[in-house]
C-alpha cells in the first residue's frame, strides 16, 4: 500500500508553484513556473534514485531500473502544466501518483523484473499552445516535431524557443523510448463516480473528439432603422446552429457530447446587428461511427441553414482524434487490482482526452479514474479527496506490479 499522506503532501507542495488566490493553479506550459514545477518533480525523482531522460519535445522520463534493464519499462505518467484557471489535481495527480509508487517500492525494497518509469508529457492542456496533448502527440507520431516546435502562443513565442529557454529541450528523438505498458491515473473531471458513490473508475475507452471553427457572416447594420425583414443578423442565425450542436449530441446518448464554448461577435456593439459571429463546436462520442454521424448531421444542418438564411457560413475542422479503446490486458490489470484491494468501482468512459490515448498507439494502455468534487475541473475550485487519491494510487501500484513482475 502506498503512503497517502506523502502523496497528498507532494501534491500540495507542487500546487504552490503558480498557486492562485482562489485556491487553484496557473502553471501554463513552458513558462518559468512550468520550469519550477518540472525542476521540483525531477529533484524528487532523483532523491528516489531515478535516472532522467528528456526528449526533444521536453517529455521527461524518470526511471527506476529493473532486474532486466533490456525489458521495455512499465510506464505511468500524465502532465504538470495546467489551464489558466486550473486546479491542483488535473495531470499533477497522475505524475505524483507514479512517483509515490516508486517511493513505496523503495520503502518496501521491492525489485521489479521490468524497469518502472514515470513520465510527464509537455503541454497536455493546449491552453498556451495548440495542438493539445502536444508532447504525447509528437511522441506517438500523431503530428510532427516541426509542427509542435512552430506552435506559438498569443504573444508570438514559439514552443521551440520556450522549451530551450526553460532548459527542457532534451536530446532523445521523440518515440524512440520503448514502453512495455502504460497506465495513467487521473481525476475523472466529470460527475459520474461521485453521483454513483464509487471510488475507482475503470476506464474502458476515451471518447473521440472533433473540434470545429464556424463563422457566420451577415451584414452589420443599425439596430434601430433596419426593418426586421431586411436584416442579415449573424448572431440570430448562429443561435440555430448552436442549439443544433446540443440537439445532435442528445440524439446519441449516453456518450454524445456537443458544446459551444467560445463565441466571438463582431463588431459586438449593442446597437449594431452582428455582421460576423465566430464560434467553436466540440463534438464527442465513444463510438467513431456515431461521432462521424454527428459530424455529418452537423454539416447537413449548416448547409440547410446556409440556404435558408442566405448568409455565408464556413465550417472548418481544427482537431480530431478517434475514440480510443484501451488494451484488455491493461484494463484487466486495473480491474483486478481494484477487486483485490476491495474498492467500490464502476466503468467510466473518459470524456476528456488524455496523454494515455497517444501512448496507447505504441503500447498496451489503461487508465484509473478517481472522483473529483462535483465533477468540476478546468476550474480553480477543482477538488478531490485524499482517500480517493490514495485508493487510485494503490490500484496503480498493483496494476503496474502485475505487469512489471516482482
Ligand X SMILES: NC(=O)NCCC(=O)O
DSSP bridge pairs for 316: 213
Least Å from the CB of residue 255 to a copy of itself: 9
Which member of 132, 164, 341, 346 binds ligand X (CB under 6 A)?
A: 132
Shortest reach from residue 305's CB to ligand X, in Å: 25
Q: Verify binding: residue 379, a copy of itself, rule CB under 8 A.
A: yes
Q: What is the 3-state secondary structure (H, E, C) of 354-402?
A: CHHHHHCCCCCEEEEEECCHHHCCCCCCCCCCHHHHHHHHHHHHHHHHH
Q: Which residues, numbered 128-147, are part of the site for a copy of itself (CB under 8 A)? A: 130, 132
Q: Which of 271, 289, 316, 342 binds ligand X (CB under 6 A)?
A: 271
- The whole-angstrom separation of Cα 203 and Cα 324 is 10
Q: Minimum Å distance from CB 353 to ligand X?
A: 4
Interacting residue with ligand X among 71, 352, 362, 376 (CB under 6 A)? 352
**Are the CB atoms for 272 and 264 separated by under 8 Å?**
no
DSSP 212-227: EEEEEE-B-EETTTS-
Contact status: 284 vs a copy of itself (CB under 8 A)? yes
The site string for a copy of itself over 96-125 (x = CB under 8 A, - otherwise) reads: ------------------------------
In terms of CB distance, is 4 or 351 closer to ligand X? Answer: 351
Which residues fall within 8 angstroms of residue 104, CB to CB, at 6 or more apart?
1, 2, 3, 110, 397
Interatomic CA distance for residues 94 and 128, integer angstroms:
21
Length of the chain counted residue by residue: 406
| Cα-based distances in Å from 223 to 87, 219, 220, 230, 275 | 42, 11, 9, 11, 12
Instruction: State yes or no: residue 314 binds a copy of itself (CB under 8 A).
Output: no
- The verdict on whether omega for the bond into residue 131 sits within 30 degrees of 0, i.e. cis, is yes
Draw the binding track, 105-124, toward ligand X (x: CB under 6 A; -: no contact).
-------------------x
Q: Which residues make up the interface to a copy of itself (CB under 8 A)?
A: 83-85, 126-127, 130, 132, 188-192, 207, 209, 211, 219-228, 230, 233, 235-236, 239-240, 242-243, 246, 249-250, 253-254, 256-265, 267-275, 280, 282, 284, 350-353, 375-379
Amino acid at each position: 500500500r502506498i503512503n497517502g499522506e506523502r502523496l497528498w503532501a507532494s501534491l500540495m507542495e507542487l500546487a504552490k508553484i503558480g498557486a492562485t488566490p482562489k485556491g487553484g493553479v496557473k502553471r501554463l506550459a513552458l513558462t518559468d513556473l512550468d520550469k519550477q514545477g518540472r525542476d521540483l518533480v525531477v529533484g524528487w525523482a532523483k532523491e528516489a534514485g531515478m535516472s532522467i531522460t528528456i526528449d526533444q519535445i521536453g517529455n521527461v522520463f524518470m526511471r527506476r531500473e529493473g532486474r532486466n534493464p533490456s525489458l521495455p519499462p512499465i510506464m505511468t505518467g500524465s502532465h504538470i502544466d495546467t489551464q489558466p484557471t486550473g486546479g491542483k489535481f488535473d495531470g499533477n495527480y497522475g505524475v505524483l501518483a507514479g512517483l509515490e509508487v516508486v517511493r513505496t517500492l523503495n520503502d518496501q525494497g521491492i525489485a521489479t523484473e521490468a524497469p518502472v518509469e514515470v513520465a510527464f508529457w509537455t503541454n497536455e492542456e493546449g491552453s498556451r499552445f495548440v495542438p493539445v496533448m502536444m508532447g504525447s502527440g509528437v511522441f506517438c507520431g500523431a503530428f510532427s516535431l516541426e509542427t509542435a516546435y512552430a506552435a506559438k502562443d498569443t504573444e508570438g513565442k514559439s514552443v521551440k524557443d520556450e522549451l530551450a529557454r526553460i532548459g527542457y529541450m532534451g536530446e532523445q528523438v521523440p518515440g524512440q523510448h520503448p514502453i512495455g505498458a502504460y497506465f495513467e491515473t487521473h481525476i475523472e473531471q466529470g460527475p459520474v463516480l461521485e453521483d454513483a458513490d464509487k471510488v475507482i473508475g475503470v476506464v474502458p475507452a476515451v471518447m473521440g473528439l472533433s473540434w470545429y471553427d464556424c463563422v457566420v457572416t451577415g451584414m452589420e447594420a443599425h439596430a434601430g432603422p433596419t426593418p426586421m425583414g431586411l436584416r442579415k443578423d449573424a448572431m440570430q442565425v448562429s443561435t440555430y446552429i448552436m442549439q443544433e450542436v446540443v440537439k445532435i449530441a442528445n440524439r446519441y446518448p449516453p456518450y454524445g457530447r456537443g458544446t459551444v464554448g467560445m463565441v466571438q461577435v463582431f463588431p459586438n456593439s449593442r446597437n449594431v446587428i452582428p455582421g460576423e459571429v465566430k464560434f467553436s463546436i466540440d463534438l464527442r462520442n465513444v463510438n467513431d461511427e456515431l461521432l462521424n454521424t454527428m459530424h455529418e448531421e452537423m454539416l447537413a444542418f449548416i448547409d440547410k441553414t446556409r440556404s435558408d438564411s442566405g448568409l455565408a457560413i464556413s465550417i472548418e475542422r481544427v482537431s480530431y482524434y478517434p475514440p480510443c479503446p484501451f488494451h484488455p490486458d491493461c484494463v484487466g490489470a486495473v480491474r483486478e487490482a481494484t477487486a483485490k484491494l476491495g474498492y467500490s468501482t464502476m466503468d467510466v468512459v473518459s470524456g476528456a482526452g488524455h496523454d494515455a490515448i497517444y501512448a496507447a498507439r505504441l503500447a498496451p494502455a489503461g487508465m484509473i479514474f478517481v472522483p473529483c468534487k462535483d465533477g468540476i475541473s478546468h476550474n480553480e475550485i477543482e477538488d478531490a479527496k485524499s482517500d480517493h487519491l490514495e485508493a487510485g494510487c494503490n490500484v496503480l501500484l498493483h496494476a503496474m506490479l502485475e505487469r512489471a513482475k516482482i
